[in-house]
Homo-oligomer: A and B are copies of this chain.
Amino acid sequence: MTNSTQQNSLAVSEQLQESYNAFKAKGLKLDLTRGKPSPAQLDLSNEMLSLPGSSDYVAEGATDCRNYGGLQGLAEVRRLFSGIIGAPAEQVVVGNNSSLTLMHDTVVSALLKGTCDSVTPWSKQGEIAFLCPVPGYDRHFGICQTYGIRMIPVALKEDGPDMDEVERLVAQDASIKGMWCVPKYSNPTGTIYSDAVAERLAAMKTAAPDFRLFWDNAYGVHHLTDERIEIANILELCARHGHPNRPFMFLSTSKITLAGAGLAMFAASKDNVKWLLARLTPQTIGPDKINQLRHVRFLKNEAGILQLMDRHRALIAPKFQKVLDIFNEKLAHVPDVTWTSPKGGYFISLDVPKGCAQRVVALAKEAGVALTPAGATHPYGKDTDDRTISIAPPFPELPEVAQAAEGVALCVLLAAAELRG
């Protein structure tokens, strides 16, 4: 570095520090942490708060939704979501308000009882492992960490997980029992698994006969563009390749209707569904069917769901665009800084220069912008490159999103400048 560029660099640093101080002095309190819908999005479903109505409680088959029973969920809910989840209605199970619970409980059941293809429970097979595409969803990793399931990171590429690596690992290691997948608008990168990747996941040979894809299609209808992107049907693909029991598919209406009062669903092969219902039998007499009926009355049909999602998009797409515009304006020419431009989902993944992510998050926090802890997108919270930051634009109001993005950009510039020293 010449003397004059050094001086330049110092001047830039000082200027950045001043801008940062000025931003901090505003005393803002902004939050880009969680994939949470905004109040305006929740308003879209306020009609549900007085549904089904005081004389409406009978579902198909003369089912009194107020009473006990109906372990698999109402037939009309299973039919309503059949197309979106990609499974026949009879292969769908509707639970309560959390798909995380269904994922957690299927893992726990497999640990204690084994899957329908397990010789013994997973917990009796020594140490087991899951493949974790990174960056990924911290709550998936949390389940593994809680129960001592070893997490093996695999790189998430443009079109899905690094399949050469995935195929190599599952073929040789029978302790690998599962793999977390968010196949569409993946959290936090927005990655869409290509048909070729899905086909390889369905076809690959696994050393474990009871290997499962945990196919968390959390953002199946959560488009941010005109394009309603479709992905391959993993259930059909796996069946075609002779592995009908491989996928456990999950879906939730938390980001369709009400985040805390939606419906969670599981879909899979007939044998898997039979297995899950047997596992649910000691745990519950049945899910909240009134909330299921409420959803049917409100959403009506698949077209109703897609229309509602258009209204969500109208509210959140501008927030994503605002963040992207600001990043483009402020960060486009910064070396080693990149970000994703998702076509759906709830997140933007921001990659900063190696070793900078924690510093950016700390600077942002100091300036009143809450970000998810650096590393949360990786197993054990450890992003060895300290590069990836997850940004969730939907929750704050648009002006706040803009302010927060400006703040984040400033922090990135400052951290990068500090690194160059």
Instruction: Say yes or no for A21: interface residue by CB 8 A criterion.
Output: no
Stretch at the interface among A195-203, A278-286, A329-337: A278-286
Instruction: Say yes or no for A173: interface residue by CB 8 A criterion.
Output: no
Q: Is the interface of A mostly helix, strand, loop or mixed?
A: loop
Verify A42–B68 contact, CB threshold 8 A: no
User: What's the Cα separation between A63 and B209 when bound, in Å?
Assistant: 46
Verify A65–B260 contact, CB threshold 8 A: yes
Known contacts A47-B54, A142-B282, A147-B112: A67-B36 contact under CB 8 Å: yes
Verify B290–A288 contact, CB threshold 8 A: no
Task: Give min CB distance, A282 to chain B, whole Å.
Answer: 4
User: What's the Cα separation between A42 and B69 when bound, in Å?
Assistant: 14
User: What's the Cα separation between A46 and B291 when bound, in Å?
Assistant: 14
The listed residue (B64, B112, B284, B289) touching A123 by CB distance below 8 A is B112
Interface size on A (CB < 8 Å)?
A: 58
What 0/1 pattern do residues 244 to 275 of A give for CB contact below 8 A with B?
00000000001000111100000000000000
- Work out how many copies of this chain go into the complex: 2
User: What's the Cα separation between A287 and B281 when bound, in Å?
Assistant: 20
The listed residue (B97, B112, B146) touching A287 by CB distance below 8 A is B97
Known contacts A104-B282, A260-B67, A291-B261: A49-B54 contact under CB 8 Å: yes
What 0/1 pattern do residues 284 to 300 of A give for CB contact below 8 A with B?
11111111000000000
Within 8 A of B (CB), among A308-327: none
**CB-nearest residue of chain B relative to A63?**
B260
**CB-nearest residue of chain B relative to A57?**
B49
User: What's the Cα separation between A251 and B200 when bound, in Å?
Assistant: 48
Instruction: Say yes or no for A51: interface residue by CB 8 A criterion.
Output: yes
Verify A105–B283 contact, CB threshold 8 A: yes
Verify A49–B290 contact, CB threshold 8 A: yes
Contacts of A70 in B (CB 8 A): 260
User: What's the Cα separation between A53 and B48 when bound, in Å?
Assistant: 8
Give the one of A123, A254, A261 with max B CB within 10 A.
A261
Contacts of A123 in B (CB 8 A): 112, 123
The listed residue (B36, B45, B100, B259) touching A283 by CB distance below 8 A is B100
A residues apposed to B, CB below 8 Å: 34, 36-37, 39, 42, 45-47, 49-57, 64-70, 96-98, 100-101, 104-105, 108, 111-113, 123, 139, 142-143, 145-147, 254, 258-261, 281-291
What are 17 contact pairs spanning A and B, CB under 8 A? A34-B68, A37-B67, A39-B67, A47-B54, A49-B66, A49-B290, A66-B259, A67-B258, A96-B97, A97-B288, A98-B283, A100-B282, A100-B283, A112-B147, A139-B282, A145-B282, A291-B291
- A69-B260, A70-B260 known, 10 other contacts, Cβ within 8 Å: A37-B67, A49-B54, A49-B66, A50-B51, A67-B258, A68-B259, A100-B283, A104-B284, A260-B287, A261-B290
